[in-house]
Amino acid sequence: DTAVSQTPKYLVTQMGNDKSIKCEQNLGHDTMYWYKQDSKKFLKIMFSYNNKELIINETVPNRFSPKSPDKAHLNLHINSLELGDSAVYFCASSQVGTPGEIHNYGYTFGSGTRLTVV
Amino acid sequence: AQKVTQAQTEISVVEKEDVTLDCVYETRDTTYYLFWYKQPPSGELVFLIRRNSFDEQNEISGRYSWNFQKSTSSFNFTITASQVVDSAVYFCALSEWNFNKFYFGSGTKLNVKP
């Protein structure tokens, strides 16, 4: 079974359209994330949700709106797509620990969604 | 502020050579995690290793080994007897204790030629 699954894997759309990328994790993790990887391969966090609550929003345009109906799902909706939004978007999940605990917490990425805006 | 530096943008080696990928990090936290991920041409991010800041013991897994040195804030990755299938972009990353912030280096592209 896939631990973190994203759909679709590829998405080609025209400028100005609205699109969504879905993410689901079956690991029982508390926290989910969206990352963007640009054409130079640089990976940067966009959002982080913990138990359906937003905890990180890294200066992402408000055209991007994450939605977490439950802690196993974090979807990314993008309005009015622009050429610069073309990138690979990765979903990830993790289990949060407490300071000093030495546990093998996981941090797992989905396989990515390649978004191309034309 | 946290930061991860992978100074080697691209490395090319011939199959069976050993290669070391460098990673230097900055953090003020006492509890943190370090990671290495592999991104093959197919694009997925493959987890290789996670190391917490309290464990400086080096690790070996098959042809892969990792050297964690807090004194120099480095977490280097060595591939012994490289193979063509090792060709990929390798990312070093640093996270806070609770994974709320996760910082990637810029990646090192490894080309292994037959």
How much is the average pLDDT of B39-65?
Answer: 88
Residues 6+ apart with CB under 8 A from B88: B38, B39, B40, B41, B109, B110
Q: How many whole angstroms separate alpha carbon A48 and alpha carbon A86?
A: 21
Nearest chain A residue to B35 by CA: give it.
A107
Task: Strands of B1-114 (E only): list them.
Answer: 3-5, 10-14, 19-21, 24-26, 32-39, 46-52, 59-61, 64-69, 74-79, 88-96, 102-104, 108-113
Residues 6+ apart with CB under 8 A from A10: A113, A114, A116
Stronger pLDDT, B34 or A107, i.e. the higher one = B34
Task: Tell me which of B46-50, B75-79, B84-88, B98-102 is least confident.
Answer: B98-102
How much is the average pLDDT of B46-70?
Answer: 89
Q: Is B45 on the interface with A (CB under 8 A)?
A: yes
H or E segment and range at residue A53: strand A53-57
Stronger pLDDT, A54 or B69, i.e. the higher one = B69
The rounded mean pLDDT for chain A is 87
Closest approach of B44 to chain A, Cα-based (Å):
5
Beta-bridge mates of residue A53: A50
Band the pLDDT of A104: cuts 50, 70, 90. very low
- Say if the Cβ atoms of B99 and A107 lie within 8 Å: yes
Closest approach of A86 to chain B, Cα-based (Å):
15
Q: What is the pLDDT of residue A97?
A: 54
Which residues in chain B are contacts of A108 at CB distance < 8 A?
A: 47
Tell me the Ramachandran region of residue A45: left when phi exceeds 0, alpha when psi lies from -120 to 50, beta otherwise.
Answer: beta
